[in-house]
Every structure is written in C-alpha cells, then in structure tokens.
Chains A and B, each alone.
Chain A
Amino acid sequence: MKEHNQHKLSFNPYLEKLYQSDKPLIIYKVIDGYNIYTDFSKKILLNNKNINGFLKSFEKKKYKKETDLYLGFFGYEILCNLIGISIKNKKRLNFYKGIFYKPETIIKIRKDIKIISNIKNHKFNKQFNKTKILSPFKINIPYQKYKKIFDLFSKKIRQGETYQIKICTKYKNKSLINPINFFWKLMRVNSSPESFMIKDKDYSIVSCSPETLIDKKKNSIITKPIAGTLKKNSSINKLIALNYFKNNEKETKEHNMIVDMERSDLSKICKPGSVKIIKKKYVAEYKHLFHYVTSIGGMLNQKTQLIEIIKAMMPGGSVIGCPKIRTLELLNNQEKESRNIFTGSFGYIKFNQDMKFNIIIRSILNYRNKSEISAASGVVLDSTSKKEFNENYIKAKSLLELFK
C-alpha cells in the first residue's frame, strides 16, 4: 500500500483533479475531519434477493487494511421489506434500493491530507458538474392535505393504534447539481456528525444527517436517537434549549417513547442486562436548530449476524414512530410517494464486521435531473398540524438554501 503525505494547501492538486473528474466518490464526516473514498473496485446493487448474501459475505472476509470495507446505503423500502412489510402503490422514481461500494483509495482530510491507495497510477477524466436549477421547489403535500393526514393519525393515536407517527413531506425541483460544491457549502454552515455525500454517474446524495443509528465495534453497539427539535435564534443557548426540552411536556414524552423503543430494539440482539442508557437527554447544537439526544448501548449476543442487527435497528425508530410495525403499515397506507433514501441508512461495514450507520435525514437526492429533500415530523396529540408542518420546513431549510 502506498502512502503519500502532503501538507494541507489551499489548493490540493490531487483533490482538485478528483473533484473535477467523472470518478464516483463518497465523502464521509469523521470526528476530526473527513474521509473521501474513491476508485471503487466493486459496486453492489442491493435487492431483496442478494441483501442476505451480501451481509453474510462479511463473515468470511478478513480485515487487513483501511480500504477493507464497503460503504453505501440501504433505502427505506428494502429495510421495510426485510422486516416483512411490503410497500405497494407508490409513486416511484425507481431509484436504487441500496448500493454498496468497495473503495481502493481513501483520502483523509485532517490537519494534513493523507492519501491511502491500492492503485499505482491515478488517472482522471475531466468532467465539470454545473449546478442548474430548472424549476422552483414544490412541496408534495400541501398544508391542507397534510392536515388531513395529521387528523387521521391523531384519531389512530386516540384509538391506541399508534403512539407516535412521523409524516414525511418532500420538496422537489428539477435541477442539475454539483454535489461536491453543495456538500462543502453545507459543511461550512452545518457539519453535523453523520454528514456524507455520494457522487456517482447517475445520481448524488448530499446529507448533513445528525443521527447515529448503529455504532458497532466488536460486540459493543451504541445508538443515539434524536427526538426533539428547537429552532434557533440569537437569544437561545444550549442551556436554555435544555431547559426548554426538559420543561416541554410534548418534547419530553416524544423523547421518552423513542428511548424505550430503542432500548427494546437493542434488547432484541443484546445480552440480557447489558442494554443501558449511557447519556440521558442532552442537547446537540446545529446551525438552525437544537436536538434532544440520548445515547443507549449494549453488548451483542454471541454470534449475532449482521442481518439480525439491521433488522432489529432499521428503519430507525425515531424517524418512523412507535410501535414500529403497526406505525409503518399506517404510514405506508398514507404516504403516496416512495421515501427512497429518506429514513434509510448510510454507513460502512468493515471486513471485521465493525460497522457504523446513520439515519438518512436532512438530505438531497438528485436523480434523473430531479432533486428531492424530505423531512418528517411527529404526530403526537399535544402538537398541532401547523406546528409540525412548519417543523418540516425548518428541517429542510439549510438544504433548500444551497439552491439559492
């Protein structure tokens, strides 16, 4: 393996060439910087038939070097299918159900830029991606329609059919985008801990996801559900936000429910007695908003298969509602458009079966010259349709601004 160390320059020729080439690449936020993955030697398009085999294949692999991993995403639909829920009668983009890539080159952007590669000669085909907005954004569910679904779900909550349910709305336009520009622009204002970007030949995803769904190292597994959002303004600091969440009955109840739900999801695959709340109800700060977060961890049962972990934890409870199965059925009856990547998961699986996955929220999907930004907020009985409808807008705002 070849390693080049280069000092960080305002202009890095290798990176510039890469950015302006037609090479597919993935950028992923890590604690102290970013990793860029490229030179993909394998690309696996997931479907209901091969997903099991793909996840099983890791059992035979050996982790020898940093490029020994697959990165990619599971879409919402394939995750629903895995737990026995079929999705019918949806308006579809026919976007991929999930794709995973095996990189041969990793560029680590820290104080310095370090390139790790299994490839000797780096070739680039120049291609410039221009951003072009061809039509203004439109929302797929206008307020009147949203209110109708909200009222129906409120009724279902009173009947005990669901305890909490999240309605997804989408902002869509026609556009071509330069995802690399979009991503770095987004990172300047909102570099949330699970941010990522995928640029491939026929699609791109730009995301500033804040939520970690699975962080698995050996037998330890951690999830950090978010429930509770507060819009920021100059008079609110972290402490004020914490007090707001603590004293707000609606946010507290919503959060409690997700904590118990995630404890239960982890308990499906963890040793009895090992599931613990690591850090209870803290505030994370972002450009436009504050989030209310809890960290929960456990020790996996011996010989837990990757597929069992995926099935227990995905789709992530905090973006669906509770209880998961019945709520997913209710949602799928009402949402007329496929969620595509939204509330799916992006992350990596190393050849030693360590893995990390987020929940895909706060994301732009660009496919076939269309961009879509989805947001979801919760119906619980103390909220109003107006408030939740607006919360969806707050969540989409920093992404919508990229198109300005």
Chain B
Amino acid sequence: MIYIIDHQDSFTWNIVHQFSKFNKVICSNYFEINNKLLEKCDVIVFSPGPGSPKDYPLSSKIYKKYKGKKKIIGICLGYQMILYNEGGKIIQQKRIYHGFQSKIKINGQSKIFKNNKQFKVGRYHSLKLMEPFKSNTIKITMRCSKTKIPMGLEDNTNKIYGFQFHPESFLTENGDILIKKILSA
C-alpha cells in the first residue's frame, strides 16, 4: 500500500492515479494523516505543493520517523523536503520553471536508471537545491541537461527517491516507467 501525503497541490491527484497503476493508494492532506494507515503502508510519497519545505514541519516529522523503515518518494516540494531534512538548503532560482518542458540527463550515480539517458520532463518549481550539497547516502542522479540543476535523487541504502520534476505531468515522457522502476527498486 502507498500513502500519498498531499500538501494541497493541484497536481496531487495525477500522482494518485499514476501510482494506482501499480498498487493500492491512500491520499490525505498533510494535516489530516491517518496514522494507522500510515503505519501500515509500505511506501510514503510526499506530494508537490506551494511554498518551501520549512513550511511543513508535520511532513518533516513523518520523514524522520519513517526514514530507513519504509520506502520514501518525494516529488517537487516532496523532493526538496527530503533534501532539506538531510541538511540541504533550498533556495530561489533566478529563472522560474512553471509548466516548462525540459530535457534532463541521468548520470552514473544512479543504480536504477541508465547512465547518460536523456528524456523530456514537466517542471513546476520556483526553488532548487543549493550546491554543493554533501550527503553520505543521497546521490543526485539526474540533472537538467542545459542548466545542470539537480532533478533527481537516490538513496539506495534507505530506499529514498525523489524527483524535482513531475513524473505525473503530461509533459513528462514515460513517467509511468520511472515510477514503476522506483517502486520495484
């Protein structure tokens, strides 16, 4: 079972439907968590949403509690939330990407996806990870082909995965395959 924590985004239900293709999905607002079901699920997904990770202490608490115990997936804000809780700094970028389709490239750090593969994705983000970012377990595995902005992360020890882009967007090529691969990783 997959538990999707919604940060009141207007894209969350695309994610719900996308994940429903692979497993049973539960979705609730971040301030209305059903703790019993959360405890029971195998995967926790942190949804996109407005604002920045520091605005959602409740979600950060859940992240810390279940890190290493359940598979965790973050999308957009959810991805930033993982990095934020791992000591990363989330900052405003000069150029803003909302409804933007761009090419990204997978690098050699990925254990799941093929090195050097490029594909088009849909982006909705004002903020990004400040670099350099250091972590023993989290690897940045995808970057924007043009600007090199970090676009994906993997922590294969703790089974934590994240995308800065939106795999559920109609702008993303083969988004379903991405999700399938991290769910079976």
CB contacts under 8 Å to B, within A246-273, are 252-257, 259-261, 263-268, 272-273
Which among B16, B20, B92, B122 is the interface contact of A158 at CB below 8 angstroms? B92
Most buried by B among A255, A259, A272: A272
Residue from A157, A252, A260 having most chain B Cβ neighbours under 10 A:
A260
- Looking at the complex, which of B109-117, B141-149, B166-174 is the stretch in contact with chain A? B166-174
How many Å lie between the Cα of A264 and that of B27 in the bound state?
A: 13
Which A residues lie within 8 Å of B101 (CB)?
256
Check: B13 CB closer than 8 A to any chain A CB.
Answer: yes
Interface string of A312-344 (1 = CB under 8 A from B): 000001000011111100000000000000000
Which of A160, A164, A263 makes the CB contact (< 8 A) with B127? A160
Q: Which size bracket describes the interface of A in this complex?
A: 35 or more
- Residues from 1 to 59 in B contacting A, C-beta threshold 8 Å: 8-14, 16-17, 20-21, 49-52
Q: Are B11 and A158 in contact (CB under 8 A)?
A: no
Given contacts A256-B122, A273-B20, whether A157 and B13 have CB atoms under 8 Å apart is: no
Task: Specify which chain B residues have a CB less than 8 angstroms from the CB of A259 in the assembled complex.
Answer: 170
Bound complex: CA of A272 vs CA of B13, how far in Å?
10
Q: Does B181 contact A (CB under 8 A)?
A: no
Contact present for B92 and A323 (CB under 8 Å)? no
A264 contacts B10, C-beta separation under 8 Å: yes
Is there an interface contact between B169 and A260, defined as CB atoms closer than 8 Å? yes
User: Which residues of B lie under 8 Å from residue A252 when comparing CB positions?
Assistant: 99
Known: A160-B50, A260-B166, A326-B50. A268 touches B13 (CB 8 A): yes
Are B124's CB and A325's CB within 8 A? no
CB atoms of B51 and A261 under 8 A apart: no
A19 is an interface residue with CB less than 8 A from chain B: no
A257 touching B124 by the CB < 8 A rule?
A: yes
Cα–Cα distance between A380 and B49 once the two chains are bound (Å): 17
Q: Is the CB of B8 within 8 A of A326?
A: yes
User: Are B9 and A323 in contact, with the CB atoms below 8 A?
Assistant: yes
Q: Which residues of chain B have C-beta atoms less than 8 A from A163's C-beta?
A: 50, 98-99, 124, 126
Q: How many residues of B contact A (CB 8 A)?
A: 32
A265 touches B20 (CB 8 A): no
Contact A159 B126 (CB under 8 A): yes
Question: Nearest chain B CB to A381's CB is how many angstroms away?
Answer: 5
B130: Cβ under 8 A from any A Cβ: no
Give per-residue flags for A129-170: 1 if the beta carbon is below 8 A from chain B beta carbons, else 0. Answer: 000000000000000000000000000011111111000000
A49 to B60, CA, bound (A): 37
B8 touches which of A159, A256, A323 (Cβ 8 Å): A323
**A69 close to B (CB within 8 Å):** no
B8 and A257: CB pair below 8 A? Answer: no
A265 CB to closest chain B CB, in angstroms?
Answer: 7
Q: When the two chains form the complex, which single residue of B11, B20, B127 contacts A264, counting CB atoms closer than 8 Å?
A: B11
Please state if A261 and B11 are interface contacts (CB–CB under 8 Å): yes
Question: What's the least CB distance linking A386 to chain B, in Å?
Answer: 20
Partner of B98, one of A164, A266, A268: A164
**Residues of A contacting B50 with CB < 8 Å?**
160-163, 323, 326-327
Q: How far is the CA of A273 from the CA of B100 in the complex (A)?
A: 24
The reply to whether B51 and A254 form a contact with Cβ atoms under 8 Å apart is no
User: Is the C-beta of A177 less than 8 angstroms from some C-beta in chain B?
Assistant: no
Q: Say yes or no: is A26 at the interface (Cβ < 8 Å to chain B).
A: no
Closest chain A residue to B27 by CB distance? A268
CA distance A12 to B132 in the complex (A): 78
Among residues 85 to 135 in chain B, which have CB atoms less than 8 Å away from a CB atom of chain A? Answer: 92, 96, 98-101, 122, 124-127
Q: Across the interface, do B96 and A273 meet the contact criterion of CB distance under 8 Å?
A: no
Q: Which 7 A-B pairs have the closest CB atoms?
A: A253-B99, A267-B13, A256-B99, A160-B126, A257-B99, A272-B20, A323-B10
6 additional contacts (CB under 8 A) given A160-B127, A260-B169, A323-B10: A158-B126, A160-B52, A163-B98, A256-B99, A256-B171, A275-B17
Show the binding face of A for B, using Cβ within 8 Å. 157-164, 252-257, 259-261, 263-268, 272-273, 275, 277, 317, 322-327, 380-381
Q: Which B residues form the contact surface with A (CB < 8 A)?
A: 8-14, 16-17, 20-21, 49-52, 77, 92, 96, 98-101, 122, 124-127, 166, 168-171
Please name 12 pairs of A and B residues whose Cβ atoms are closer than 8 Å in the assembled complex, sorted by A.
Answer: A157-B96, A159-B92, A159-B127, A253-B99, A257-B99, A260-B11, A260-B99, A265-B10, A265-B13, A272-B17, A323-B11, A325-B8
